Amino acid sequence: MLTLLRVKNLALVEEASVSFEPSLNIITGETGAGKSILIGALYLLLGERADTSAVRAGESQCLVEATFRLENPGAVNAVLAEAGLDPCEDGLLILRRTVKAAGGGQAFVNDAPVTLPLLKRLGALLVDLHGPHDHQSLFQPAAQLDILDAYARADKERAPYAAAYAKWQGLLARREELSADIGDLAAQIDLLAYRVKEIEEAAPVEGEEEKVRAEQQTAGHAQRILELGQLVVQAASEDENSALSILAPARKALEELARLMPAARDWPEELRAHTDAIAALSGAIQRELSGIDADPARLEWLDQRLAAYDRLKRKYGGTVAEILQTLETSRTRLRDLQSRDQQKAAVQKEIAAAEKELQTLGLALRKHRAAAAEKLAPAITAELKALGFEHGSFGIQLLPAETPAATGLDRAEFGFAPNIGEPMRPLRAIASSGEISRVMLAIKVVLAEADRIPLLVFDEIDANVGGETAHAVGRKLAEAARRRQVIAITHLPPVAACGAFHLAVRKSVKDGRTHTHVVPLDEPARVEELARMLGGRESTSVALRHAAELLAAARKK
């Protein structure tokens, strides 16, 4: 249950901490006092989109925080574990969110930063919140089917059906793609075949172009390179007057000089190093010259190979990698076009199998829904009787959908007959907002029992009802609060009198600014609040006596 709600700098509320009890919590106050600010705070904590205008004027941010004490935290802990967060300690869960006036904000669960989608997932397990306009969703067939599935706990059947539906849709899209008009098929095949053949015959290899270009540079000047190289070799080591021949007598002279003159001891080694270097250079040049091919035929091949690379790069990509990617893409597309008829046949076969699977899963889901509808309709009818429709009747029709949808093969049609002798009419045909509000309350009570949602919140569920119906709504809320924590904002004294815990929202002006406060009411204060609701600002003795009678009657029932 929700034990504490803290609000700071949200709209008219500068700061408030509101405690709640595990039964029916009633919130009342004059119009404009700020009752719905508390509901707005809950919406923020449930992951709804934030409006920066909600931040109190002159403040940089607002803060909302809710503390929940969970009897069975298993489902919440599973969501937390999936998000990599620690489980609730002793069932304690704290949700906190800040909204900045300049935009943005943060969300936390037990002090760990989280995303808004995670808040929404947790909120769906913690709170069922019904606002004054939410009953409009009851008119939508999709929403009615969701309500039936929620009561039926149909996730086990609906998930595999949804997966099969997605697969079927993908196959239909593939068939459409294969059947699309792609112009002159033969011309496209010829073009792709030519492209593939041209690249395959050229057989480009990454890194080869650089090697060919380097060899071509050498081969183009082969004759001059050979001449110059041979000249160096001859001067260094091969001619009679080569450097090595000239230095040979010098080596012998230095060796004798080293024996006679201590200062010349290292000179022979220095000369030997230089002569060895000349010999090594001569050998290296000879080896390089031996690898040079001055054959004109080789040079022609190199020119042609480079021309092939230049041609491919102009047509199919600026690099060899891009050319090879074009080749692979063209091969794939060519195979696709050449095998289009075979692919169509294969996809059609897959579609037939997928449709068969879809029917099997859809019928299993329908069977589960039908069984749930037989229980849900009487359960809602029973709740409606307690809400003043003594002879009312609620019905659920499960009809085949025109075409398979992501939600199944069915569509649901909720019907309602408020009086004896009246035919069952679709819920969307109900004109009275008072009637539809009570239908929504009945559905919420039944669904909450099925889903075990710990907190039900009703913001003016009793709008447009009065008289004995107001008493019936109050009794039903009190009855629901025996099994769930319930928070209800109301303008009706008979509903407020049924609460076990009463909060009043007060508005005051201080230092030229409006402030909203939330005050828990004791017994005398409750009587005064109910009297205000009955008679306006001035609580007359008649209004006070009537208020006391309302409280006494509510306790008896």
pLDDT digits (tens, 9 = 90+) for 533-545: 887 556 677 888 8
The residues facing 108 across adjacent strands are 96, 113
pLDDT for 372: 94
**What residues in the chain have per-residue pLDDT under 50?**
none
DSSP string covering 25-61: EEEEE-TTSSHHHHHHHHHHHTTPPP-GGGBPTT-SE
pLDDT for 286: 78
Total residues found in the chain within this entry? 557
Torsion angle in degrees (nearest 10) through CA of 264, 267, 269, 275 = -150
Inter-axis angle of helices 208-219 and 296-316, nearest 10: 140
With the C-alpha atoms ordered 361, 367, 368, 372, is the resulting torsion angle positive or negative? positive
Q: What is the phi/psi pair of residue 533, to 5°?
A: -65, -30
pLDDT for 183: 65
What distance in Å separates the CA atoms of residue 142 and residue 133, rounded to the nearest whole number? 17
pLDDT for 245: 78
pLDDT for 133: 59
Structure tokens at 372: 């749930």
Positions of CATH 3.40.50.300 in the chain: 1-132+452-521
Predicted TM-score (pTM) of this structure: 0.65
CA angle 220, 223, 229 (to 5 degrees): 115
CATH topology of domain 1-132+452-521: Rossmann fold (3.40.50)
pLDDT for 80: 93
